[in-house]
Chain A
Amino acid sequence: MVTGAEGTVLTDDEPARYRRGSAALREGGSAVDGARLKNCDRRNPTAIDSRTRSPRGRSPRSRCSGTVRRPPLFGAVGQALVRLSYHKGYHNGQIGLLRRMAGKESAIKQLYRFAFSICSACASDVSVSFAPLIMRASSRVRSCASSRRTDVFVRPPVSFFSIR
């Protein structure tokens, strides 16, 4: 839709069932079939690739049309698609949590080792841990041995001491 592709994957009345303030969805009720929803965006990558290159489509620099000009789909088509992708990632994280609450195993089975955090003062490892990729820390790490938290501050390479 954003790129000028024809049609939508849901009928006109189906999105109303998911609007804020709508009634809770129940099994056997008015919810759209899960298998159908699961595959709704299967064609998105191909459609985006072809429609942003087609003369009849929209380039990433063109403006969103009036029919879709609402958050997060506003501004340039490329920016709107990036915004929407970020939004999808947020919901995917929620789906992951709900999946665990439903009693299913985590979708992420491989554990990733944290990057070694090297103390620039003594050149030793200050913390090594394991966690799924979605839980990787970005600003602080935790010591396995003592569970003591160590604040790590990222400073320019010219700054020798980076931990306090």
Chain B
Amino acid sequence: MTGTELAQIYEFSYEAIQRNLDGLTNGDSVLCPSQRATA
């Protein structure tokens, strides 16, 4: 696998993570799952 192909994998990965993090605040990022369930 070439460096360019590896870079494309990481570009796809970055975009996928950005989609999952879209609209989440810093406060959301430190809430424990149990706190989320009762919030």
Q: Which residues of A contact B (CB under 8 A)?
A: 3, 24-27, 29, 31, 33-35, 37-38, 41-42, 44-46, 48-49, 51-53, 59-60, 78, 81-82, 85, 88-89, 92, 95-96, 98-99, 101-104, 107-108
Q: In the complex the two chains form, what is the Cα distance from A27 to B7 in whole Å?
A: 34
Given A25-B30, A37-B29, A78-B1, are A107 and B11 also a contact pair (CB < 8 Å)?
A: no
A-B residue pairs, 8 tightest by C-beta:
A52-B3, A49-B7, A34-B26, A34-B29, A45-B11, A107-B19, A45-B7, A48-B7
Of the candidates B13, B27, B37, the one whose C-beta lies within 8 Å of that of A92 is B13
Q: Which of B20, B25, B27, B32 has the most CB of A within 10 A?
A: B20
Q: In the complex the two chains form, what is the Cα distance from A38 to B25 in whole Å?
A: 10
Q: Which residues of B contact A (CB under 8 A)?
A: 1-4, 6-11, 13-14, 16-33, 36-37, 39
- Nearest-neighbour CB distance to chain B for A48, whole angstroms, equals 4
Q: A51, B3: Cβ atoms under 8 Å?
A: yes
Given A102-B24, A107-B22, are A59 and B3 also a contact pair (CB < 8 Å)?
A: yes
Given A29-B30, A49-B3, A49-B4, are A82 and B25 also a contact pair (CB < 8 Å)?
A: no
